[in-house]
A and B are shown apart, each in its own frame.
Chain A
């Protein structure tokens, strides 16, 4: 009863579930089963991020599909020395989501959406494993280290998908100010999170 179940499979005799990094490595060698497992393991997180940026469900699905095909295609490029697999995947997903919402067609919708939206960091209402919650608390705590203005700029960029110039227009502050807030905010976040991978 007190035995810690590491992988949630409930079967202590089962081999440990491969990590996202291991799965991505296998995907890079053309392993389709690993791709399926990687998708199952990560798609709620990637889709959640993409949905936050690309509100339209059909478009968010398209972006997610593109992201996973890109993962399949370029997995061999992933360099574990540079960071962990999920961070790499988030980077791809965020980039594609941002590019999608910056298309001219979607710009108006986005402006309306951002105007109506609370710009604070999203509150995760899904109960997850304790480890994840701790991780969330840690990040939330790190975000508290940012000044209100830094947090606002970082959130507008990351969750709103705005460019630094767009943020400057929206907040009616000089572009240089936005650049400084983004840079200082990210430095502070990085410091607060410590050297982790």
Chain B
């Protein structure tokens, strides 16, 4: 696939916007049919879905096309699946958490500005604060991380804007498995939906944004990254849980497309810091570069 998207580009030009800025809604309406047919590639789809979440009119159009597409689906010859599949499914239900109806409604696109289910308890740190915010947000673990890596990199703590419900909507609402498997998607959704879920978003120096979603109850966390550069085949992003004892690898991830996410390996405990470094492909047992971002919890 070429991945070129002249229509999206044209939409940008029509709107007088620079590349990377919001696309005109007209361009998205032109893509609604292709979206309903799943004929958009991963990047186009992600971009379209962001517009979809913000536009009830676009949503209506997609719904109408989805109904037509369902008629196409009915044309496929029914085939009974093997009986073993039903048994496997029923056995899986116990370990498959369900989305609560309330969370579903909160994450629905009709709500223009969903209220975070977990409001930030502390005042939003000043963006210019080199310390990264209040005493409460600079935990011992992050201090340890900074000692280890000399100085905190230029990451600026932005407003804790990404509401947990938005994350949940972005990940599970659209049924997007992304680069991860379905199991990971379920895990990510479970973290985001946890009653005690916390969400923090930081900007990354040089562009991009990282959101950490964590649940102390579940002992897990995940990151959603947006706008980080693709490192190519020779390098990878590596995640770290950092505490006073040092940095433990929590897995690697690569960026292809505008957005990706992953559930961290290992267990999350409140107070730990989560860092991301750029490492040689395959990852490193210990960080070899300064982190591009550290998120204190």
Contact = CB atoms under 8 A, between A and B. Distances in A.
B34 to A, nearest CB: 5
The 4 closest A-B pairs by CB, nearest first: A87-B70, A186-B33, A44-B78, A157-B39
B81 A179 contact: no
Given A43-B80, A68-B89, A166-B1, A77 B108 contact: yes
Interface in A113-147: 121-126, 128, 132, 135-136, 139-140, 142
Interface string A82-125: 11101110111111101100000000000000000000011111
Contact of B66 (A39, A77, A83, A136): A83
B112 interface: no
A182 B69 CA distance: 12
Contacts of B233: none
Interface in B70-86: 70-82, 85-86
B130 to A, nearest CB: 42
Contact of B82 (A61, A77, A88, A121): A61
Contacts of B40: 163-164
B97 interface: yes
A125 B74 contact: no
Interface string A154-197: 10011101111111110000011001001101110110010011
Main secondary structure of the interface of B (DSSP, over half): helix
A95 B45 CA distance: 11
Contact of B38 (A35, A61, A94, A179): A94
Interface of B: 1-7, 30-34, 36-41, 44, 59, 63-82, 85-86, 88-90, 92-93, 96-101, 103-104, 107-108, 172-173, 175, 177, 182, 186, 189
Interface in A19-38: 28-30, 32, 35-36
Given A61-B82, A186-B36, A139 B41 contact: no
Contact of B98 (A66, A73, A197): A73
Given A79-B108, A82-B63, A47 B172 contact: no
A72 B31 CA distance: 29
A162 B39 contact: yes
A47 B81 contact: yes
Nearest to A156: B39
B166 to A, nearest CB: 14
Contacts of A142: 71
B41 A165 contact: yes
Given A83-B63, A124-B75, A189 B68 contact: yes
Contacts of B6: 175-176
B77 A125 contact: yes
Contact of A154 (B37, B41, B82, B97): B37
Contact of A187 (B33, B76, B104): B33
A48 B77 contact: yes
25 contacts: A28-B98, A45-B78, A47-B81, A48-B79, A64-B85, A65-B88, A68-B89, A69-B92, A74-B99, A76-B101, A77-B107, A95-B175, A121-B72, A124-B77, A136-B74, A139-B75, A157-B38, A163-B41, A164-B40, A165-B1, A165-B2, A179-B7, A186-B36, A190-B68, A196-B67
A43 B209 CA distance: 40
Nearest to B7: A179
Contact of A94 (B73, B80, B92, B186): B73
Contacts of A126: 77-78
B188 to A, nearest CB: 12
